[in-house]
Amino acid sequence: MLTRDTRDPATRPRLLLSLLALVLLWPGIRFSELDLGVLLASDSQSEMGRFVAAFWPPAHGDEFVELLWQTTLQTLAIATAGMALALLLAVPASLLASRALSLSAASRAGHPGYWGQLLRWPVRGLLIFLRSVPEIVWALLFVRAVGLGPTAGVLAIAITYSGMLGKVYAEIYESVDQRPAHALLQSGSSRLAAFCYGILPNVAAELLSYTVYRWECAIRASVVMGFVGAGGLGQQMDLSLRMFAGGEVASLLLTFLALVLLADQLSRLLRWRLA
């Protein structure tokens, strides 16, 4: 009795876990070639130091401000156009992928038929594929296909975000009360009508707020995508970095910050209005 009590059952798992962590840490450090010293090393610090010192004052010539304004507009336009295209793809895909509109489920106490499940999987797989490849990889691929410029960015956002939106929309449809839609389906209405009258009223607010929230994410994404040549603030930032123009980088970063803050406020306002 006492011998059993004096042994801590957690000792062995803890010991094994710590050992595992130690064993993994060594190759991890080797593979990532981790060296915190470079942040403090003197020569790189002076090189970095000169670059960072050039951050002040931020570039503010008339010409550059005009350029800033244009690229900011371009970034906003990329995000908005990309979202619009993504919606075109996401809405039908989510309707196909969601179990909420299963005819067989309506007559089988909520359990969709075997064949319906089998047909839904390819759509779900496609959506998973679209959103699992990072948007900047899509951007890189499209830059090779359609050339440098915002078109590649728009297409990349459209592809990635249709995957994200499609998946989340499908989940939202399934999360609400299914009985109104099932009742409509059982009384012989078409699936689309059942969706519009049975599900849409319940989910509209959540769909809108999620879409607006994603639009905000798309703005950040479109800035990042510029680094592979897909237009907008990011592309300008990449150019300035390559030319070691510290002041321009500083202005671009500040603009990026202001844009993100603004989008955050606007998205909050829209969600509050639409909810």
Partner 1 sequence: MNRLLNVVMVLCIGVAVVASFVYLGIDLGELGDSGNLQRMAAYAQRFLSPDLSPGHLQAIGRGALETLAMSALGTLLAAVFGLLLALPAAGRFGWPLQSASRLVLNALRAVPELVWAALMVLAAGLGPNAGTLALALHTTGVLGRLFAEALENTPSEPADAIRLQGGNAVLAFCYGTLPNLLPQLLAYVLYRWENNIRMASVLGFVGAGGLGQMLYVSLSLFQEAQGSTVILAMLLLVLAVDSLSGWSRQRWVKA
Partner 2 sequence: MTLQLTQVSVTHAHGVQALRGIDLRIGAGEQVAVIGPSGAGKSSLLNLLATALRPGSGEVQLLGEPAWQLSARQRQRLRARIGLIHQSPPLPPRQRVVTAVLAGKLGQWGFGKSLLNLLHPLDIPGATAALARLDLGDKLFVQCQQLSGGQLQRVGIARVLYQAPEVLLADEPVSAMDPVLAEHTLSVLCRHAREHNVTLVASLHAVELALAHFSRVIGLRDGQILFDLPTEAVDRPLLDTLYANEQLQPSPTPPTTLSVQIPRC
Give me 266's structure tokens.
Answer: 């606007």
Give me 10's structure tokens.
Answer: 């957690």
User: Which of partner 1, partner 2, none does residue 150 bind to, with CB < 5 to 8 Å depending on kind?
Assistant: partner 1
> What DSSP character marks residue 58?
P
Q: Answer yes or no whether residue 33 interacts with partner 1 by CB under 8 A.
A: yes
> How far is residue 129 from each of residues 81, 132, 162, 167, measured CA to CA in Å?
22, 5, 11, 11
Q: Answer yes or no whether residue 22 interacts with partner 2 by CB under 8 A.
A: no
Q: How many of the other CB atoms lie within 10 Å of CB of 56? A: 9
Instruction: Extract long-range pairs of 134-141: CB within 8 Å, 24+ residues apart.
Output: 134/160, 135/159, 135/160, 135/161, 135/221, 135/224, 135/225, 136/221, 136/224, 136/225, 136/227, 136/228, 139/225, 139/228, 139/229, 139/230, 140/228
Nearer to partner 1, 178 or 222 (CB): 222
Stretch 205-244: interaction string toward partner 1, x if CB under 8 A: ---------------x--xx--xx--x--x--xx--x---
> What DSSP character marks residue 50?
H
Q: Answer yes or no whether residue 36 interacts with partner 1 by CB under 8 A.
A: yes
Nearer to partner 1, 88 or 119 (CB): 88
Q: Answer yes or no whether residue 77 interacts with partner 1 by CB under 8 A.
A: yes
User: Which of partner 1, partner 2, none does residue 192 bind to, with CB < 5 to 8 Å depending on kind?
Assistant: none
Q: Write the burial class of residue 212 (CB in 10 Å: 0-12 exposed, 13-18 middle, 19+ buried).
A: buried
Q: Answer yes or no whether residue 39 interacts with partner 2 by CB under 8 A.
A: no
Percent helix, strand and coil across the chain, each to the nearest 5? 85, 0, 15
Task: Name residues contacting partner 1, limited to 99-138 (CB under 8 A).
Answer: 129, 132-134, 136-137
User: Which of partner 2, partner 1, none does residue 213 bind to, with CB < 5 to 8 Å depending on kind?
Assistant: partner 2
Nearer to partner 2, 2 or 36 (CB): 2
Q: Peptide bond preceding 9: is omega within 30 degrees of 0, i.e. cis?
A: no
> What DSSP character marks residue 195?
I
Stretch that binds partner 2, among 10-18, 107-115, 128-136, 248-256 (CB under 8 A): 10-18
Nearer to partner 2, 42 or 132 (CB): 132
Stretch that binds partner 2, among 1-9, 62-70, 141-149, 178-186 (CB under 8 A): 1-9
- Residue spans of alpha helices (H) in 56-178: 62-97, 103-106, 114-132, 135-146, 150-175
Stretch 188-217: interaction string toward partner 2, x if CB under 8 A: -------------------------x---x
Q: Which residues are near partner 2 by CB under 8 A?
A: 2, 5-11, 14, 213, 217
Q: Which residues are near partner 1 by CB under 8 A?
A: 24, 27-36, 38-39, 44-45, 47-48, 51, 73-74, 76-78, 80-81, 84, 129, 132-134, 136-137, 140-141, 144-146, 150-151, 154, 220, 223-224, 227-228, 231, 234, 237-238, 241, 249, 253, 256-257, 260, 270, 273-274
